[in-house]
Amino acid sequence: MFDRAAYEKRVKWFTEARFGMFIHWGLYTIPSRGEWVRNYEEIPAEDYEPLKYEFQPDSCDMRQWAKLAKEAGMEYAVLTAKHHDGYCLFDTKTTDFNAMTCCGRDFIREFLDAFRAEGLKVGVYYSVIDWRHPDFPHYGDKHHPMRNKPEYSNENRDFDRYLSYMNQQIEELCTNYGKLDLIWFDFSYDKMTGETWHATELVRKLRQWQPDIIMNNRLEASGEGFGSLLTENPNEYSGDFVSPEQIIPPRGIFDCAGRRVVWESCVTMNNNWGYCSTDKNFKPADMLIKKLVECVSKGGNMILNVGPDATGRIPEESVRILKEIGRWMSRNGASIKGCGCADLEKPEYGRITRSLDGKTLYYHVTEPQIGYVYLPGITKDQVAAIRLLCDGSERKIDQGWITANYADLVFVKLSDSPLLPEPIDTVIKVVLK
């Protein structure tokens, strides 16, 4: 039976954090055509394998990554411990296809040490599929690079042997690196879902190794599904949050009883998760700030991806965007962290977030208003104080002749200028009585 009280205690930090950094990094940075390059180009293992000797990211400094995440206002971070290509960024006894063997560095340990030092929650991404392992299905599998080559027959492949390998790697991650706050599984598809991974047994072990860890829903579903978290009694392996990919749910996500479900939208900064040297389609900072606000206003999180290059550097475009987000968050982060859905009428000029204790509303004004800003959902006698969040300056409820026709509504004036004090998103903080 699903223990909802234990579940809500487990996810509390996550629903308060709201903003995280996703980091996709591995051998695929060398061809630099995205993390699915083996799949798209149907590259045989023997052609991909030699990249392990080239991967020598001498410019990788996880402390700089961590400081950038902190500066951007992020509260947690997740790094790919192993992606679909099977290359491991951690020290593992299961394979020599790992960074410790090939370049003498345990990047997961470096990541965890650096991000913990900045006070951030930490998590690891782990792909339950593995295109390199000899016992993982090859020919005919929906995603395997050798799916179209009958000479890679699945005869004599032992999937149970692969599951043993997978379990050993997850155990290493969960027992060799101290407390993990989050594990991000990827991904289930077709018949490769749920108990195909022996998911109940795996999750029970996971809870023993890391009692407080939270996980996403992708042992049971993929980015295109929700899983049993939307039912009254989710499966043990349902995970703790839904993980919509490259989309923000139109109305948030609710379960069958109408309760809000914990979710996190995973979003790329350009069009790829892993480094792609030709992809310059970066989303501007103002767009990402507004999308972060949208996520929170619908009761969700955003985890924003960076894809460092083969040298270990985060692309300059990503650094610039994160610093710009950070400047806004330094003044307005209180409307994001520890906040959620306001359950009020959405204003035409933007959105509303509410502190999780219910005592404070944050009106996000993203376009200039003529004269006065209407604050829907409240009455004058409910208001204890109104301030601009960016500088703490007081704003009074307007009660002049211009707004007299709407005496039962709340209006405030931002300034005499037609421009917003905060051009991207001016936040009005309303403290309720």
pLDDT of res. 412: 97
CATH (domain of 356): 2.60.40.1180
Cα 419 to Cα 315: distance, rounded to the nearest angstrom: 32
Say how far apart CA 297 and CA 352 lie, in whole Å. 6
What per-residue confidence (pLDDT) applies to 2? 86
Confidence of residue 248 (pLDDT cuts 50, 70, 90): very high
Same domain for 391 and 272, yes or no, is no
Position 385, amino acid = A
Q: What is the CATH number of the domain that holds 199?
A: 3.20.20.80
End of a domain among 338, 369, 384? Answer: 338
* 249-281 pLDDT per residue, tens: 999 999 999 999 999 999 999 999 999 999 999
pLDDT at 217 over 90: yes
pTM exceeds cut of 0.85:
yes
Check whether residue 277 and residue 380 sit in a common domain.
Answer: no
Report the percentage of the chain scoring pLDDT > 70: 100
Instruction: Read off the pLDDT of each residue in 62-87 and give the average, rounded to a whole number.
Output: 98
274 and 392 together in one domain:
no
pLDDT digits over 134-166, tens only? 999 999 999 999 999 999 999 999 999 999 999
Which of 321, 338, 355 is the C-terminal boundary of a domain?
A: 338
The yes-or-no verdict on residue 422 having pLDDT over 90 is yes
* Residues 277 and 377 placed together within one structural domain of the fold: no
- pLDDT score recorded for residue 223: 80
327 and 361 in a common domain: no
Tokens of 91: 């020290």
Q: Tell me the pLDDT band of 222, cut-offs 50, 70 and 90.
A: confident
Q: Which tokens is 214 given?
A: 């939270």
Q: Which residue has the tokens 């996971």?
A: 206
Both 234 and 158 in a single domain? yes
**What residues does 6 pair with on adjacent strands?**
none
Q: How many CA atoms lie within 13 A of 333 on its CB side?
A: 19
Helix (H, G, I), strand (E, B) or coil at 284: coil
User: Do 372 and 330 share a structural domain?
Assistant: no
Return d(Cα 165, Cα 160) in angstroms, integer: 9
Q: Answer whether 314's CB lies under 8 Å from 306's CB.
A: yes
pLDDT given for residue 225 in this prediction: 86
**Cβ count within 10 A of residue 345:** 10
Average pLDDT, integer, range 17-37: 98
Range of the domain at 294: 4-338
Number of domains in the chain: 2
Question: Are 193 and 283 members of one domain?
Answer: yes
- Cα–Cα distance measured from residue 333 to residue 352, given in angstroms and rounded to the nearest whole number: 14
For residues 244 and 378, membership in a common domain is answered with no
Distance CA 157, CA 162 (A): 9
The answer on 360 and 326 residing in a single domain is: no
For the chain, what is the mean pLDDT?
97
159/221 same-domain check: yes
- pLDDT tens per residue across span 29-49: 999 999 999 999 999 999 999
Using alpha carbons, list the distances in angstroms from residue 303 to 306, 321, 329, 336. 10, 14, 15, 13
